Amino acid sequence: MNYGAMNYSDTSFAQSTTAPFLSLEAVRKTYPGVVALDGFSMEVRPGEVIGLVGENGAGKSTLMKILGGVTRPDSGTVTVDGVAHVGLTVEASIGSGIAFVHQELNLFENLDVAANIFFGREPLKAGPLRLVDRARLREMVAPLLKRVGANFSADAPVATLSLAQQQMVEIAKALSIKARLVILDEPTSSLPIAETEKLLDVIKGLRAEGISVIFISHRLHEVERVADRVVVLRDGMLAGTLPKSEINHDQMVKLMIGRMLKEREKAAEAGRAPGGVALSVNAVRTSAYPDHPVDLDVRRGEILGLAGLVGSGRTELARVLFGIDERLGGSVALDRKALNVGSAADAVANGIFLVPEDRKLTGILLDLSIAQNISLPNLPAHAKRLLVSASAELATAEKQKKDLGIKAPSVLTRTGTLSGGNQQKVVLAKWLAMNPKVMILDEPTRGIDIGAKAEIYGLMRALADAGVAVLMISSDMEEVIGVSDRIAVMHEGQISGILDRDDFSQENVLLLAVGKSPKLAHAVGGAQ
């Protein structure tokens, strides 16, 4: 089935009159000191896409655990096909046709696609050895891959697939157990634009087959595109439900956080003018594209958005500027003075800081406290006679906690227990305590809810207003257009063009991302 060729504009499908096959009624779940769900109720009808939204900590994860049978509610009922249960087991959940595609994919990269889809359920040949019947396995997998619009074979090693393709494998696995409801948890958070489109088409295709989908995402424009109904969680309770005709960004935000919110911290306010060039990149070559030099200037007091498709070389450039990877050629200047950054320590010493793409892996130490993470890059400033002063460490952390609005009981709280937005604030806090000159942020709001995003945007704008040069790498088109003062676009390791605000548009960014010229005359440096 070619989902891309189907027409999904008609949303008056059968689920509007079909009885729900799954419902939750007055479900409550508490943990010590926390009410995770408080009298929550919802229904799922066959063949509908439900957008489930809410800030981090709203109760979405607990709800998913209850549906998956991992957690049992304290009270309330879960009804499947008219039969009420006080809670599901994992086996009952699977048997009811509930399948999950988690944000962190659960695949064996050393196995091929077919082995992953039917792992533990492989067809076996007759005979004493009971070997896997590979021919039969491929026959079983082929129609599943066709249903999700996959462009790879059952024999393809999972390690060779893109993230979007791996998610298709997960969805095919769900279909293999005759899923009636597929729950997608932040499925597009790490995907580029083109692969996001493919996944959204797959979701619409599932709906066309009568399979229900719960789509959990912080990218509200995607929810608006695919959802037939939106369910909003706030503080463990049902904040409201929006029918298709009422789904829009502002209404979702209002229900999520209880108030209207400016869509973006708009850049380029009237009268604002950037300062001189802070960071100058001249013919810099990276290991990703050693034959393609990069030229780029970042001005003091501006947020320069760096856009491009995945694999265009954006992160590799950031790693070279921060001294993680070797610069293969060209030069870098800070405030017009030549700069030789051979290590991250050199970059930090010169006031160039990086907020990395994967904050949990390379941005913070989850087992350390907030205070320890904030002081770690600058221990000499918190030391007396070569010993770290706990009081100095706490004083710095308390100031950053207050200034950045880090939500935690104490600066001694373990960082791994914080929400994604607050973890990102800790990453920012450790650098802000050191007076940055250039701040490089790689995917600064990935996996962060709408309220925390607005706070991060506000912090970025405050940095720029204080004269810091901010380079923001992002795959979120709305973010790039809404937050940046200028947008530089990379294509195959080079800057294909730079857009001033008057020329901002999704079309222009995409044209430059594929190496073509933008349509508006104000864009400069476009490739032919």
Question: For 429-475, what is the HEC assignment?
Answer: HHHHCCCCCEEEEECCCCCCCHHHHHHHHHHHHHHHHCCCEEEEECC
Please tell me the predicted confidence (pLDDT) of residue 272.
59
Is pLDDT at 420 greater than 50 in this prediction? yes
Question: For residue range 230-245, what is the model confidence (pLDDT) as tens digits?
Answer: 999 988 899 999 999 9
Task: Give the pLDDT confidence of 249-285 residue by residue, as tens digits.
Answer: 888 888 887 654 454 444 444 345 778 999 999 999 9
- What's this model's pTM, rounded to 2 decimal places? 0.63
Name the phi and psi angles at 42, rounded to 5: -160, 160
pLDDT for the residue 9:
37
The single-letter DSSP state of residue 3 is: G
378 or 62, higher pLDDT: 62
pLDDT digits (tens, 9 = 90+) for 173-203: 888 888 899 998 888 776 767 778 888 888 8
Strand order in the sheet with 277-285: 294-299, 277-285, 329-334, 337-339
Neighbours of 153 (CB within 10 A): 13
Residue 16 binned pLDDT confidence (cut-offs 50, 70, 90): low
141's torsion region: left (phi>0), alpha (psi -120 to 50) or beta? alpha
Give me the pLDDT at residue 525, please: 45
**Coil, strand, or helix at residue 151?**
coil
| Residues constituting the chain | 528
All domains of the chain, ordered by start, with CATH? 21-97+181-261 (3.40.50.300), 105-179 (no CATH), 274-351+437-528 (3.40.50.300), 361-435 (no CATH)
Averaged pLDDT for residues 37-61? 89
Mean pLDDT of the chain: 84
